[in-house]
Chain A
């Protein structure tokens, strides 16, 4: 492997035959010719190839091929019963209309591409920051992003405003998740000075462009004068992909590795295919069937016609038939019948369908009852060709959080060490007993609130008015931190690794040693913090009840907590258990080494980290249970009721506990309460259990449906 030189030879790799890509960071000359620039092109056609390509596409449908065949047959004057213009006229008109619609759509795509391409971004060229258009970004350029900027191409992060090298991105355009994700700079880039970032040089070896947004296996090597001249591995957590937004971070910079249509987003986009609805497919099939029928009719009539001509017609002396015709004489009568029967598939079907579909789409746009009250934006149908599929919907599958619910979490109740707060008024923040306990610094309550305030990835910001705003990655964390602040345990500042909590006018500092992030397998998250005053190391954990309560230390009474979870589930609230454990210095050091090792392995990193986390997260002292309310959006119960009356089946997908999910379903008219509706549960942890559960349910259904109503 020759780095530092500008050769283009790609070395052979023994174990995988994948060709790789070499990106030279901040190198002005070499990458121009090798890789494409960042011009995004979503267009299907160019000006030259529009007509042939569009006609080719239109004629790939069977119905259009049929019309073309009939029109061509009508050019043969011997067999045509009508003037060929009567078929060519409408045909040309229809294809012109379709072609112009496609041209209009393509032109709009071109305009939006232009807008995206000409957006201005900051790029480092020759050591200084320049403002250039997004399409001029080349592979290897260093791109500088500000907060809330959209990322113009795939970048490997090399620096952020956060001293630990973290930044948060919103990836909702890629995968639809609204929670923010953290990205971190690679270890080789830790601690590099702000000014030096403009002059950094190195090489990144990365795979060919693909569309997998969860994997990125590459490595990075920085050139002298930077230290660490060995290879540093890169994962997807070191990259920011195109179309994400930078959030909660003042600035970040990265090296462009994939640009233009070779970014992960570009590779997964593909060519926009014309979509066909279920009705279009059905019409194609019917047209095929009618055509076959037509052929049969034509053959029968053709044979009859030829036979009649040879027997009867020759007797008609006044027609003076020639005795021998040309070789195609036999084909003439069947083809004439074919042209006469060609109206079985009318050409107006295509025009009518296109017109009607466009009208449907327009009706959706003009519907005055589908305007968003807050923003005043009316609904807009972007694809006019598939509008009738809306009327054939049989199943709706909906996510609960954020779709049925408002995704604005509010802290409602809690249970601390067996004491229930908030049960009478419904709001724990107004519960006088809790406020008294806080004022009196009851140790259980203080511990509980500490965990609420610290065990998260929230960053507090001081706004201009002096109030504190929390930048959280998810609504849950935001709700908990705000609730803690209202209970006088305010999280005021985060500086490097030091957190500041203000409690009842005294300031406590904690140093964050390690953050064990939330994964959906473990269902919990933890932080290891060191109290700056006392020097104690504690592990704070927060998670689902089935991830915390089973790991409570032997002897702790978890019965009240289980009851609390049940009760809150009945009310439809989201529950979280909070726990903590004190760690000794040795235990922590030993574990920390294991954790660092697991974090930097190249193979199976997630699994190793999960394993290491498991070693620490046990023997908890469970402090309490929080309950958060996620209200349903306006009009959800009525909407679901109406849809179910129309015969559409509903499926709700959620990660909540069963009880919570059932309660929510009851409250949004999803399930009818007994005795009108009957709840049937199918659950199990193994395949056999699920099978047995299913059979029981089927039996119940058979019994109830055979009962007289």
Chain B
């Protein structure tokens, strides 16, 4: 009797038995919607002092006026580290044809050894000397900077590893240093430290990944600590970059991230719109069918027969 029990027990553990009895061990993932917490703050209008609100362009172009500004950001929900810091620009056409063309990838990799930088026009040479990195994209580098303080203690912002690994390793040279950069009469954006090679200039690398749409975010850094709800973060920023000439906007974004990425409403909007329009069309066609019934295969609706009916 015990033998038979043992026998049964052994067959009970074979894969075939488990399969047919549908008792194989299985994993059933239960998808839970991931929550992403995001704080957005537009600072370019309010960071201009009262006196210059009428003529913002001359404010931003005047180097003598100090550009410091302090902003307060309130955290409304618990945010888990790492928290990503982005700067968002609106109405900025990084996808313009002339702008996108104006770079030289070979020069970014090889430096001054590469001479044919004609695609970088008009920012190619300055007083006869080649500019490294050349081109409008590098020339218009974003140069606002942000520091974060919570309860009088500065939050540590990690500014390394913000660019793509492939860019750092293969597109920007490890031996290429900035040369003759932002030396001309017209200064477009930030300056670069000529001692640091291009592959370590992560801000430049992030900026040179041109975006496809006029409203975009670029990674500034990461905060490695958790933020609790109701925390108030004080942001001290330098409002250097000129978006006032063309009516652009600057925003600072603090966001957590999930395995699907950051906050994106597109899928939700798409589902709702397609679903509702399909429903409306279905209702309309049903009503049309009920009103104008047409039997299947009736040849009197053929165009040559219809003429004889009416005429």
Contact = CB atoms under 8 A, between A and B. Distances in A.
Interface of A: 312-313, 315-322, 394, 645-647
Nearest to B189: A318
B49 interface: no
A316 B96 contact: yes
Interface string B119-139: 000110000000000001001
Q: Which residue among A317, A321, A646, A647 has the maximum number of chain B CB atoms within 10 Å of its CB?
A: A317
A317 B187 CA distance: 11
Nearest to B299: A647
A318 B305 contact: no
Contacts of A319: 93, 96, 98-99, 136
Contacts of A647: 299, 302, 304-305
Contact of A318 (B140, B247, B299): B140
Contacts of A320: 98, 122-123, 136
Main SS at interface, chain A: loop
Nearest to B99: A319
B235 to A, nearest CB: 25
B107 interface: no
Nearest to B93: A316
A319 B136 CA distance: 7
21 contacts: A315-B245, A315-B246, A316-B93, A316-B246, A317-B242, A317-B245, A317-B246, A318-B139, A318-B140, A318-B188, A319-B93, A319-B96, A320-B98, A320-B122, A320-B136, A321-B98, A394-B304, A646-B299, A647-B299, A647-B302, A647-B304
Nearest to A645: B299
A678 B103 CA distance: 84
Contacts of A646: 299
Contacts of A318: 92, 99, 136, 139-140, 188
Interface in B70-128: 92-93, 96, 98-99, 122-123
Contacts of A394: 304
Interface of B: 92-93, 96, 98-99, 122-123, 136, 139-140, 188, 242, 245-247, 299, 302, 304-305
Contacts of B92: 318
Contacts of B139: 318
A312 B246 contact: yes
Q: Which residue among B96, B139, B246 has the maximum number of chain A CB atoms within 10 Å of its CB?
A: B246
Contacts of A645: 299
A337 to B, nearest CB: 13
A394 B308 CA distance: 13
Nearest to A395: B304
Given A318-B92, A319-B96, 17 more contacts: A315-B245, A315-B246, A316-B246, A317-B188, A317-B245, A318-B136, A318-B139, A318-B188, A319-B93, A320-B98, A320-B122, A320-B123, A320-B136, A394-B304, A647-B299, A647-B302, A647-B304
A318 B136 CA distance: 7
Nearest to A79: B97
Nearest to B242: A317
Contacts of B122: 320, 322
A680 to B, nearest CB: 15
B96 to A, nearest CB: 5
A537 B98 CA distance: 107
Nearest to A336: B97
Nearest to B300: A647
A318 B140 CA distance: 6
A76 to B, nearest CB: 14
A230 B222 CA distance: 119
Task: Give the top 4 A-B pairs by smallest Cβ distance, nearest first.
Answer: A318-B140, A315-B246, A316-B246, A315-B245
A576 B56 CA distance: 110
A315 B96 CA distance: 13
A647 B139 CA distance: 73
Nearest to B122: A320
A404 B30 CA distance: 75
Q: Which residue among A319, A322, A646, A647 has the maximum number of chain B CB atoms within 10 Å of its CB?
A: A319
A646 B245 CA distance: 71
A646 B123 CA distance: 73
B134 to A, nearest CB: 13
B310 to A, nearest CB: 11
A442 B168 CA distance: 122
A274 B181 CA distance: 66
Contacts of B96: 313, 316, 319
Contacts of A321: 98
A540 B200 CA distance: 119
B90 to A, nearest CB: 13
Contacts of B188: 317-318
A317 B99 CA distance: 11
A481 B305 CA distance: 49
Nearest to A312: B246
A313 B245 CA distance: 11
A646 B247 CA distance: 67
Contacts of B245: 315-317
A394 B307 CA distance: 13
Contacts of B246: 312, 315-317
B80 to A, nearest CB: 36
A343 to B, nearest CB: 19
A316 B98 CA distance: 11
A584 to B, nearest CB: 63
A317 B139 CA distance: 11
A318 B92 CA distance: 9
Nearest to B188: A318
A316 B123 CA distance: 15
A318 B122 CA distance: 11
A6 to B, nearest CB: 65
Contacts of B93: 316, 319
A313 B97 CA distance: 12
A318 B123 CA distance: 11
Nearest to A321: B98
